[in-house]
Amino acid sequence: MKVTPERVADEATWVRDRAETVVPLINETRGRLGELFETDVDRVSTTAYREEVQAVFVDGEVAVNVAGYVALLRDLDVEGDYPGFVVDEVLGRELAATIAGGTPLSLLAQATFHYADVTTHTEGGAGVDDLDAALAAGFQTRLPGWDWREAESPFGVDPARLD
């Protein structure tokens, strides 16, 4: 596989155009997580998803890695699925983490990937299932809508204290 700037742009377009599949997965995942954690989580619109796809792909260092994971998962199909369980899970988990950003969001996206993956069944092979779950997990993590992300953390240190 060769990854060029043109290939990255093509993968960005594919991810953006996947909104009809990914946005419902994001909202289903948020709904289930909201029930589990007894909190309300805002739904994500197609517009918000597409804007966030653009934000991810504008950063070239992130874009090339996201494009690589997407391309690998789009083409991955292991006969009988189970023997390929490890490779598609690793790629999906890492894609979700890369989309979400740095720690702690990357870890949260990896955990959310497994949660989303259990209920994601997409036509197109084992890799596409994990690809859709990873896109849903990564973007749902980085997009606003969780109350705990909207409030300022009580653990931030006042700069004056460090003087």
Tens digits of residue pLDDT in 125-151:
556 789 999 999 999 999 999 887 888
By the 10 Å C-beta count (0-12 exposed, 13-18 middle, 19+ buried), 40 is classed as exposed
Q: What is the pLDDT of residues 56-76, one digit of tens each?
A: 999 999 999 999 999 999 988
CA distance between the termini of the chain: 51
Q: At 66, list the tokens.
A: 């996201």
CB atoms within 10 A of CB 133: 31
CB atoms within 10 A of CB 160: 6
Q: At 9, list the tokens.
A: 């742009």
Question: Bigger pLDDT: 90 or 123?
Answer: 90
